[in-house]
Amino acid sequence: MAVVDRLHESGELEEYFVARGRAYQQKYRAEGIEQGIEQGIEQGIEQGLAAERDLLRRQAARKFDPRTAERLAALLADIADSEGLAAVGDLIIDCAAGEELIARLRDSSPHG
């Protein structure tokens, strides 16, 4: 309280609170910007993975049949990284039949 009394007596109390307000404003603005950037990055990654999944589903439908693509879509939902999705792309190229693709994916899946 002594600091407040001294600032009040010197006429600097208002300046003190204005300066403190600006400091808090800058701090929270910086934190908000950082949080927004992090959320934007996460959202971008999720959108990218969703686009990869969609492309793989379309490729499977084109090479095999729509039923294989539907079954593949369910399995792709469990893959949360680009490397895993790239491996599925390799399997689409390597497999001769939709059943083979699904079987190989199920065999390699941690969920079985």
Calpha distance 80→26 (Å, rounded): 36
The pLDDT tens digits of the residues spanning 1-25 come to 676 677 667 777 778 778 888 888 8
Give Cβ neighbours of residue 13 (< 8 Å, ≥ 6 apart).
4, 7
The pLDDT tens digits of the residues spanning 49-62 come to 999 999 999 999 99
Q: How do the residues of the chain divide into helix, strand and coil, expressed in percent and rounded to 5?
A: 85, 0, 15
pTM for this one?
A: 0.69
Using alpha carbons, select from 23, 28, 3 the residue that is nearest to residue 13. Answer: 3
Domain ranges of the chain: 2-108
